[in-house]
Amino acid sequence: LHIVFLMHRITCGFCYYHITAALRLRNTMDTAVTLNNGLKHPLIGFGTYKVGVVPASASAGAAVGRTTDEVISDAISVGYRMFDCAQFYANEKKVGDALKKSGVAREELFLISKVWCNKIYEGPAAVRAQLEQTLSDLGTPYLDLYLIHWPVPGKHVDAYLELEKLVEEKKIKSIGLSNYTIEDYEELKPHIKIKPVVNQIEINPFLFRKNTIQYFVGENIVMHSYRTLRQGKEMGNDVINEIAKKYSKTPAQILGRWCVQQNMVYIPKSEKKERMIENAGVFDFTISEDDMATLGNMTKPDQLTAFKELYDKCVVRDTPIQESREGVKAKVTLD
């Protein structure tokens, strides 16, 4: 009888932890940054890359674990309401079906998608057609935010101009950039009349491109951070763990807090519900200025070199100029 009573207490405690964590995350959905067009953007969202589907040309293959429906259902139950999607992820229909099953009202969601390089290369008509496909797949009449996934040489400006038309048609509320360098934006800037509201790039202490971030923030463009958690590869890092112990937090929570404390949008992803809850626990503490500075000075030159190699590859990925890399900028601001 004593064992049964003890197990009951443990089970109740476990449930209580998950329920209160979910409620806490729902409250943090009110934590948002104001975009340059006046719209509110949640500071935390859920990434959908490799959720239920691994794209055919993904650079790092991985076995599919849980289904898209299972993962999105858990993310919703925990309290996530912003979902970062993309044509390239090849799972927007599955994500849309899962969101529909959730019963969450559209106005409570913040939906993001990105148009991939192949459609950008094909031109404005292909970009428009892809947006229509994404809207159909996600089951929504509009997107809160639509991004140019990579600045395809000689093509990204025309793609952006088509997105401006789609804003006027109320199919997109906001336009964003992804993986743009300073030079890419300077190339785009003279041609546009609607300013991009975000630039989504990899941001973490191991790839912290300070000058690039400072430039875009100076342009009143919010930074989106992907790979904030470095795909879990640095959870054993001594510096991260030392700081985590200081605040009685996990390494993931330190990395997430470092991001949102700088008003950068944080987009973690996990298939595990307990990790979803953990990753969201970033709004109940503050990292000191000294520790923020320590985290902000961990990027090494070889990591910037690796970024340039990835950039050169991805701006032409899945296009006819993938091999020749015609038009790829020889020099861009790396840091």
- Which residues lie closer than 8 Å to 285 by C-beta, 6 or more apart? 247, 249, 257
- State the Cα–Cα distance between residues 250 and 94, nearest whole angstrom: 31
- Give catalytic status of residue 146 as yes or no: no
Spatial CA neighbour of 46 closest among 18, 97, 85: 85
Which amino acid, 164?
E
Which one of 16, 17, 80, 89 is the catalytic residue?
Answer: 89
Please check whether residue 237 is in contact with residue 251, taking contact to mean a CB–CB distance below 8 angstroms: yes
Which amino acid, 87?
Q
Q: What Cα–Cα distance (Å) separates residue 201 from each residue in 32, 147, 213, 240?
A: 19, 12, 9, 21
Spatial CA neighbour of 121 closest among 93, 149, 89: 149
**Residue with structure tokens 């807090």?**
257
- State the Cα–Cα distance between residues 203 and 71, nearest whole angstrom: 24
Q: Which helix (H) or strand (E) is 311 found in, with range?
A: helix 301-314
Provide the angle, in degrees to the nearest 10, between the axes of the packed helices 273-280 and 68-78.
40
- State the Cα–Cα distance between residues 15 and 21, nearest whole angstrom: 10
For the record, the structure tokens of 101 come out as 């099953």
DSSP letter for 58, please.
Answer: -
Query: How many other CB atoms are found less than 10 A from the CB of residue 184?
Result: 24
> Active-site residue numbers?
89
